[in-house]
Amino acid sequence: MSIDTLNMSTPAAVRRVSEVRAVVDLDEPGAVISRHVYGQFAEHLGHGIYGGFWVGPDSDIPNIRGIRTDIVEALREIRVPNVRWPGGCFADEYHWRDGTGRPGSRARMVNTHWGDVVEDNSFGTHEFMLLCELLQAEPYISANVGSGTVREASEWVEYLTRGDDSPMSALRRQNGRDEPWKVRFWGLGNEPWGCGGRMDAEAYAATARTFGTYSRDHGGNKLYRIAAGANSDAYEWTETLMRTLGFRLGHSRPEGEGVGAYQAISFHSYTVPGTAEAKGSATCFETDEYYRTLARATQVGEQLQRHAAIMDAYDPDRTIGLALDEWGVWLDAEPDTHPGFLYQQNSVRDALVASIHLDEFHRHADRLVMANIAQTVNVLQAVLLTDGPTLIRTPTYWVFEMSKGHQDAHSLRVRLDNVRRVESDGRSLPLASASASRTEGSALISLSNLDADEPALITVELRGGVAGAARGRMLTADRATAHNTSANPDLVTPVELSVQQRGSDLVVELPPHTFATIELEVG
């Protein structure tokens, strides 16, 4: 195959191009990729809620009963499946009754974790449930385990989901909502090893079992209880939670034992290029820091594998799910912003961190049931930023938009050959990443060229199926530091990618630091 045939603007003789081969087995569908691995996270933190989702019904910014209209429209475009709320660390100091009743008369509190600001609770349970209805997304509510009580959590479930004349149902009706909501995902606290109570694994396991038992199913609503799990690679935490449910190594759980405590175990994993004190800039970084960030992002694959392996040893029938309900790049707050509000810009590099994570999620679809990027609006690796009335879709947003076809599709095996590597942060970083999935009649292939400086010529060999029409898109820019702003909101947006079909092969050229997708008709 001649590189010259790809009509590159610069002659092949003077250009260095990495040639990569990918093999996709169309006829060997694997586990279904749960749409819930594309979940979002909205915490009462900085301008994530106030100034983000919530502008209030009296705002000049178009809104639906206080919820910003353009945010709803943007998130519906990427098919958001679920939203986790109210935290995060905030969840374990949040008392849900304070966020009910007539706005303006609700109890106030101090948000001690994030900025030490006064929270007026104008965005509470009813507002969050309205948001989920507008997004057509499922709510994922984190109960207060750190400073709350078992009764408080139990009554919140009753308030949300019970339909008769129980005390909490009556209170909900008094507050303006007659019919109960459907709430499936129920989190049992947040980071109990840290801001959620500084517990050890054994203490939390016992606490979670009690909270899970008394967070009851009402009527036709069935809770999917998610225990708060490990910090990144603290694998012993996962093992402790599995043992607490009554599993024995190599055996299925005895009938009835542990039922009702929790149905999934979570963990959190952040990508930090630098140190806790100096994490790194979102938009000012050199090539070595670019590679270090991506190398650290690839650790999520090992973490997923090892947490899943522990669970497989105790639960070979895979009756318990694994959730990564906080992930993303954590960088220094932007200059001249409140350091406790965690506002950071979002570059092409961050989009590639997202693509690496999504590829790993697809590969671990047999155990991973949910993942939630931190966070949706104006906080950490946000998919959306606001600047007054202007809404900015970040490069990470476009990765989610381009990848939405993977939701609820069968994962496909992808093998990469001839991938160049660089050494960074003590790791060997492959400079290409890929994943694929299929549904009836179509397939979606994700490809990332992680090389900071050189393009990649990627040949995709399709086995076990016949490919029809192919449509390619790519997300890139001249620099990995490129990002969208209110002055230039479309600097980094998807453009068409030329796909050449040669028999059973597809051939594309990806510029440096580029994410791409290929949609295929398959038979």
Catalytic pick among 93, 119, 127, 191: 191
Rounded CA gap, 439 and 406, in Å? 9
> Residues 466, 505: contact at Cβ < 8 Å?
no
What is the amino acid identity at position 488? N
Instruction: State the first-to-last Cα distance of the chain, in angstroms, to the nearest integer.
Output: 26
191 is catalytic: yes
158 is catalytic: no
Report the relative pairing of strands 321-329 and 368-373 from DSSP bridges: parallel
Which residues does 10 contact at the CB level (< 8 Å), separation at least 6? none
> Beta-carbon neighbour count of residue 196 at 10 Å?
25
> Residues 508, 470: contact at Cβ < 8 Å?
no
> Residues 193, 237: contact at Cβ < 8 Å?
yes
Rounded CA gap, 188 and 184, in Å? 13
> What interhelical angle do 125-135 and 150-161 show, nearest 10?
50
Rounded CA gap, 80 and 326, in Å? 15
Catalytic pick among 127, 326, 360, 401: 326
CA triple 20-26-32, angle to 5 deg: 110
At 159, list the tokens: 């308030």
> Residues 92, 195: contact at Cβ < 8 Å?
yes
* Catalytic annotation, residues: 191, 326
